[in-house]
Amino acid sequence: MKLWVGLGNPEPGMARQRHNIGFMTLDTIAIRHGFSPWRQRFKGLVAEGVVGGEKVLGLKPMTYMNASGESVQQAAAFFKLAPEAITAFHDELDLVPGKVRVKRGGGAAGHNGLRSMDRQLGSPDYWRVRLGIGHPGHKDRVTGHVLGDFAKVDRDWLIATLDAVADAAPLLAAGKPEDFMTRVALQTQDVN
């Protein structure tokens, strides 16, 4: 089993914020691959499905971003999952909007959701799907940027990226991150 975690914040008024692109991605994957309905468990919402022949538990922590690791740790402990069976989908300031990169391990780069996961799991050695939201240009504007809603001009690239990630998800589930990134890039090249 794989644990795919979408990072975001639970308030309905935050649903369209850039910081919630992880939730948006997981929702799109769950719809595309026919996951079970979302239900409460592990301080979050969970849905189960099969992606590319692999059983996947989708998890959206309802703990707020800064405590996401509490939810992830509970699910990982319950299913006895090693960090490498976990993938976090999260917003990434250091990538242009719509760019998607996958890596295993690494630092939190100031992302409080990743920082919480590192602390709770005791290891940064899980997979990350970094979803580019762009940088506002100056560090003083970062908080307002990530907590701001996507603008209308973002709609085309955002929908294309969410669809591409959901379409390519079987490659990710099969442990082929390079092929996954290539497929997403090809599918979004006209809008990015």
Query: Which residues are part of the catalytic machinery?
Result: 19
Nearest alpha-carbon partner for 65 in 132, 3, 20: 20
Record the tokens describing residue 155, joined without a space. 């709609």
Q: Which of 82, 90, 84, 149 is nearest to 116 (CA)?
A: 90
CA-based torsion, 51, 111, 147, 139: positive or negative: negative
Residues forming a β-bridge with 157: none
Q: What is the phi-psi region of residue 46: left when phi exceeds 0, alpha when psi lies from -120 to 50, beta otherwise? A: beta
Say which residue the tokens 């691959």 belong to. 33
Helix, strand, coil: what percent of the chain each, to 5?
Answer: 45, 25, 30
Separation of alpha carbons 97 and 134, rounded Å: 5
Q: Which two tokens stand for residue 166?
A: 């959901």
Nearest-angstrom CA–CA distance, 167 and 92: 20
